[in-house]
Amino acid sequence: EDQVTQSPEALRLQEGESSSLNCSYTVSGLRGLFWYRQDPGKGPEFLFTLYSAGEEKEKERLKATLTKKESFLHITAPKPEDSATYLCAVQSDAGKSTFGDGTTLTVKP
């Protein structure tokens, strides 16, 4: 069974304090790994897709990386508006998507 584990569950940072979120996964044939951002009471918003180990994607203060067993979402010099829950999901070759429980990031000014 495909599994996605995200850590930490919650992360509190000061504005400007860089850090990383982890997503460990097991999947029967990885078709893609996805990062989403979810604000309270809203639907998840797509951020990145990573397809193969060694791949990196960047968007503003966020950078996602992928290895064969995990992915990291690096947040550089975060701002309060980066506060949200970040979800990781994997899609198997069979097309099934499995989501992790997310990391809730709080950035204090």
Interacting residues with another protein (CB under 8 A): 31-32, 34, 36, 41-46, 49, 87, 89, 91, 95-102
Backbone φ, ψ for residue 94 (5° rounding) = -80, -5
Q: On the CB side of 69, how many CA atoms lie within 13 Å of its CA?
A: 0
For another protein, give the closer residue by CB, 77 or 94: 94
For another protein, give the closer residue by CB, 15 or 56: 56
How far is residue 40's CA from residue 62's CA, in Å, rounded to a whole number? 19
For another protein, give the closer residue by CB, 49 or 76: 49
CB of 9 to another protein, least distance (A): 11
CB of 10 to another protein, least distance (A): 14
- Residue 98: burial class (beta carbons within 10 Å; 0-12, 13-18, 19+): middle
For another protein, give the closer residue by CB, 15 or 45: 45
Contact 87, 35 (CB under 8 A): yes
CB of 62 to another protein, least distance (A): 16
